[in-house]
Amino acid sequence: MSAIANRCVITLNAGSSSIKFALFEEVSDALKPHAVGLAEMAGEERRLTIRDGAGEIIHQAKRQERSDVPFHAEALRRILSWRQGAFPNANVVAAGHRVVHGGVNHAAPALVTDAVLKDLEALIPLAPLHQPYNIAGIVGAREAWPHVAQVACFDTAFHRSHPYVNDTFALPRELYDEGVRRYGFHGLSYEYVTRKLREIAPLHAAGRVVVAHLGNGASMCAIRDGLSVASSMGFTALDGLPMGTRCGQLDPGVVLYLMQEKKMSADEIVDLLYKRSGLLGLSGFSNDMRELLASERPEAQQAIEYFVFRIRRELGGLAAVLKGIDAIVFCGGIGENAWQVRERALEGMEWIGVELDRTSNRANEEIISSERSRTRVFVVKTNEEAMIAKHTLALFDAQSRRAA
């Protein structure tokens, strides 16, 4: 394993039964990934798998654990002890955490203090499936690494620039005032992609851009001059496009029907909308786009058709919000790889200036529009971890300067 001479940052993305993490070293102005890992809990089994920057497995461990040992605290101690063994000299100055919700107050990453943590706890009702675990990751990291600065990076922060019409629902004002707003998510991915576009095509990046983040979670975002002006996701990460297992945009009357006529409980509806809908619900057998594309079952084709249909609707809507469009960017597992989805999403889109180069598209090239296309279309590999690491180091430096 290569030695590490410079400052390092660890990024953490804690879910209910997994923690994704990465170790970056600052080399000149860039951040070099040395390790990318996943700690997960499957029943009583706790697994830890770590790969190097090139994707080769460098550590793998499994063990049975009594279920009363808290997963996050224990996993973070194991990650720390692996790091101490594998990179004993690494100078880890800060840990950056992905936090799904920053509410209305956090438009930028924040150094974690007791007050910030309290703020984030108050937002749990707005993201009950993610926020408690993100917080458990922070609390565990503070315990395991008491001398390392902890930084929270928010998925909502990038969208705080939304104008009022894209921030509100048409509900009584007091609900807006208490936080029932269109927050938007996937912000760290949009921010990374926006910065990358600035390197690849600065003129386009300064214009009107629609980014489609299409992974297991999927959303689209309209960006003007680098700032988010509208997003397909709203109050929660359920709205907008259909996803692997989430429904996407839904008439609220359906929820009323499920409650009133089918007598479903809130928990049952949560399970239906988050875990049994989307591509899985429509196809009846898979949430994985690769499997759907390979299948000849008509339900699989209909699931893809619905996915594409919603992308097209959203693209038209966001182009109208921006009053025209200079660039489209695809990212996420589907956006970066599924050329069939891109081809179908962009078919007949000449009216917004898009002319696809089918050959480049099928080869997943960086630019997939033709030379003549007025609107340029890009495929960019997103990297939320790198964005978290950048923010974390920048905030750490700003804090150190202030303290000096």
User: What is the total residue count of the chain?
Assistant: 404
Give the range of 36-44, 98-106, 333-341, 390-398 binding ligand ADP by CB under 6 A: 333-341
3-state helix, strand, coil in the chain (%, to 5): 40, 25, 35
Tokens 């290569």, residue located: 2
Does 290 contact ligand ADP by CB under 6 A? yes
Q: Which of 184, 234, 240, 332: binder of ligand ADP (CB under 6 A)? A: 332
Candidates 137, 187, 217, 353; binder of ligand ADP (CB under 6 A) is: 217
Quick one: 142 or 381, whose CB is closer to ligand ADP? 381
Candidates 95-103, 174-182, 214-222, 319-327 — which segment interacts with ligand ADP by CB under 6 A?
A: 214-222
Mark the segment that binds ligand ADP (CB under 6 A) among 159-167, 254-262, 286-294, 392-400.
286-294
| Radius of gyration (C-alpha) of the chain in whole angstroms | 22
Question: How many of the chain's residues bind ligand ADP (CB under 6 A)?
Answer: 13
Of 289, 329, 352, 354, the one binding ligand ADP by CB under 6 A: 289
- Given candidates 15, 226, 316, 333, which one binds ligand ADP under the rule CB under 6 A? 333
Residues 194, 231, 337, 383: which binds ligand ADP (CB under 6 A)?
A: 337
For residues 288 and 355, which CB has a smaller minimum distance to ligand ADP in the complex?
A: 288
Residue 377, beta-bridge partner list: 328
Structure tokens at 282: 């429509």
Q: How many CA atoms lie within 13 A of 259 on its CB side?
A: 8
**Is-catalytic flag, 251?**
no
DSSP 198: H
Binding residue (CB under 6 A) for ligand ADP from 92, 148, 334, 380: 334
Distances (CA, A) of 387 to 68, 122, 161, 236, 403: 34, 25, 18, 22, 24
Residue of the chain from 40, 119, 271, 288 that contacts ligand ADP (CB under 6 A): 288
Task: Point out the catalytic residue in the list 29, 52, 114, 155.
Answer: 155
With CA atoms as reference, report the closest residue to 129 among 250, 17, 249.
17
**Residue 203 burial (CB count, 10 A):** 10
- 3-state SS of 248-270 is CCCCHHHHHHHHHCCCCCHHHHH
Least gap, CB of 335 to ligand ADP (angstroms): 8
Minimum CB distance to ligand ADP, residue 401 (Å): 34
* Residue 137, both tokens: 């990751």
Min. distance of Cβ 207 from ligand ADP in angstroms? 26
- Contacts of residue 302, defined as CB under 8 A and 6 or more positions apart, other chains included, come to 282, 283
Catalytically active residues are 155
User: Under the rule (CB under 6 A), what is the footprint of ligand ADP?
Assistant: 215-217, 244, 288-290, 293, 332-334, 337-338
